[in-house]
Amino acid sequence: MNQRLIQLLIAILLLCSVHRSSAADACPVCGGKLTTVGTVTDDRTKPSKNISVWNRSICANMFYDDASVICTQCWLSYSKQFQRWERSSELPDSFRRPLSAGIRGFPVPPAKNIKSLVVYSQQIAGAKVSESVAFWCTDSDSLISDFRAYARKHNLSIRVEMQGRVRKQIYVAIETKPSA
Ligand SMILES: [Zn+2]
């Protein structure tokens, strides 16, 4: 092999490694180090780092597996299926990119009315950020009307679903509107 060919090969190798590190090793949102879900342990004595990834229910998680990419700093994980970064948590103040005031400040009903974990979510696809707070609660007209008033005041969308599976309970999701 002549000298020039060796130099060329070294240059190609260097280019590849630079390209790989910038594309795969840093979180596009916070710059943190990326790893794969399989290398992270879910500490069940603490709130889940990302409920989208570790939902701890008996339902299989169809969207994330051990090979999914996750940030070790902000715990956003990349969904290939939806082509976006996503994190969910029961802790509204635990998001490295703070949730918008309307979602973070949503007045959660009293514990006696809440029938599930209250889950805050953030999804990031390029410049597009969507957020939500969702939970199951008792089916109550006065609660629903409070939720609707809050959503109107803060320019948020609201979904109320009565799925019939669980009597007298409703699923409520308060979501940011898509920014056109
Ligand atoms: Zn990150």
Whether residues 123 and 175 share a domain: the answer is: yes
Decide: 131 and 152 in contact? Cβ < 8 Å: no
Is residue 13 included in any domain, yes or no?
Answer: no
Whether residues 74 and 106 share a domain: the answer is: no
Interval between CA 87 and ligand 1 midpoint (Å):
10
Beta bridge partners, 81, equal none
* Segments of the chain with pLDDT less than 70: 1, 5-6, 8-24, 164-166, 179-180
Interval between CA 22 and ligand 1 midpoint (Å):
14
Interval between CA 137 and ligand 1 midpoint (Å):
32
Is residue 5 included in any domain, yes or no?
Answer: no
119-125 and 156-161 beta bridge pairing: unpaired
Interval between CA 60 and ligand 1 midpoint (Å):
25
Last residue within a domain, chosen from 61, 85, 109? 85
Structural domain span for residue 50: 25-85
Q: What pLDDT is stored for residue 167 in this prediction?
A: 76
Q: What pLDDT is stored for residue 13 in this prediction?
A: 57
Whether residues 56 and 100 share a domain: the answer is: no
Whether residues 96 and 170 share a domain: the answer is: yes
Interval between CA 33 and ligand 1 midpoint (Å):
7
Residue 33 carries which DSSP code?
A: B
